[in-house]
Amino acid sequence: MKFKLSMLTLLMAFVVQFSFAQEKTITGTVSDESGLPLPGVNVVVKGTTTGTQTDFDGNYSVSAKTGSTLVFSFVGYKSQEMIVGNSNKISFAMTPDTEALEEVVVLAYRTATKETSSVASTTISSSTIEARPNANFVQTLQGQVAGMNIITTSGQPGGNSTVNLRGVGSISGNTEPLFIIDGVPVDEDNFRSLNPNDIESLSVLKDAGATSIYGNRGANGVVLIKTKRASYERDLQIKYTGTTSISTLQRHYYDLM
C-alpha cells in the first residue's frame, strides 16, 4: 500500500511539473508613450531563438513558458523585459530612448535627428576622436565608419593616407570623397592637416540621397566636419590635452656557448 501511494505521489508531481513547463501562447499589444500602436517591435523569448514582431496594429503572439522573460526592442525606444506569469496577455507602452532620439545627423544643407533621418550616414563625436590620439588624424577614423577604407602609403608618423569610402569606381580616376569643413569644400591635404582637437563632430554621408546636393563631386561620398567655436555668454574654459609614450628596445640574451 505504501509503495502504491509513493508511485501515485511521484506521478502527480510529474504531471504538475510537466504542466508548469508546458508552453502557452502569449498575446498582447505594444504601443508608444501616446498610446498609438507600434508596428515592427521585436519580441524575443530571452535565451532562445523564439520570437516574432508586432503587426500593423501593434499586436503580437508568441509561445513561451511560465516564468520565462520576453524582451521587447524597437529603434528609438528602450528595450523592455516582461516576465511571463499566469496571465496569457501582456500589453504595455514602450519608453522612448531620449539619448538615441537627440543624436543629430548633419546633412547637406540641414541637420536632422537620427530618428527622422533615413539616409546612410555615420556621425563620430569629438569624444570618440579624442579617445584615439594618432599622429595621423585620418588613421583615427579607421574602423569607425562601415565601408571606409584608409590606406597609408608611408609608415612614418604623420604620413599621407588615402581615404576610400564607396569602393574603387575607377582605376585611374579620383576615388576620394568630398571633404567639407564648416561648409567649405577642401582638398585632402587640408583635411589631413586638421587638428583633431578642433573637431566638434564628423559626419560621413554615403548614399545618393544624402550626397545629391553636391552633384558629381559627391559621387564618392561626403565627409562633413564641424569645428569647435566660441559660444555666446559662456564662461572661459581652458583645456589641455596631451599624451606621453615610452618605447624601449626589447633585448634578447642568447647563450653563445
Range of the domain at 44: 20-97
pTM higher than 0.85 for the full model?
Answer: no
Q: What's the pLDDT at 28?
A: 92
73-132 pLDDT, tens digit each: 987 788 899 999 888 899 989 988 765 555 555 555 555 555 445 556 677 777 777 777
pLDDT in tens, 221-241: 888 888 877 666 667 777 777
Q: What is the grid cell recorded at 143?
A: 574602423
| Domain CATH number, residue 32 | 2.60.40.1120
pLDDT at site 30: 92
172 lies in some domain = yes
Q: How many Å apart are CA 60 and CA 58, to the nearest integer?
A: 7
Task: Say whether pLDDT at 47 is over 60.
Answer: yes
CATH number at residue 123: 2.170.130.10
Evaluate whether residue 88 is within a structural domain.
Answer: yes
36/117 same-domain check = no
Q: What pLDDT score was predicted for residue 248?
A: 77
Average pLDDT for 31-53: 88
Q: Which three cell numbers stand for residue 28?
A: 498582447
- Percent of the chain predicted with pLDDT > 70: 68
Residues with Cβ within 8 Å of 40's Cβ and at least 6 positions away in sequence, in order, are 53, 54, 74
Mean of pLDDT over the chain: 75
The tens digit of pLDDT for each residue in 18-32 reads 444 568 899 999 998
Rounded to the nearest angstrom, the gap between the alpha carbon of residue 50 and the centroid of all alpha carbons in its chain is: 24
45 or 22: which carries more pLDDT confidence? 45
Q: What share of the chain is helix, strand, coil (3-state, %, to 5)?
A: 20, 30, 50
pLDDT (tens digit, 9 = 90+) per residue, 133-176?
Answer: 776 777 777 777 777 777 777 666 656 777 777 666 555 566 77
Final residue belonging to a domain, choices 50, 79, 97: 97
Q: Is residue 247 part of a domain?
A: no
Whether residue 72 is predicted with pLDDT greater than 90 in this model: the reply is yes
**The predicted structure's pLDDT at residue 234:** 66
50 and 118 belong to one structural domain: no
pLDDT tier for residue 196 given thresholds of 50, 70 and 90: confident
**Are 35 and 50 found together in one domain?**
yes
Do both 119 and 221 map to the same domain? Answer: yes
Measured in whole angstroms, the distance separating CA 177 from the mean position of its chain's CA atoms is: 23
**186 and 138 housed in the same domain:** yes
Report the number of distinct structural domains present in the chain: 2
Do 108 and 222 share a domain, yes or no?
yes
The pairing of strands 178-181 and 184-186 is: antiparallel
Do residues 122 and 221 share a domain?
yes
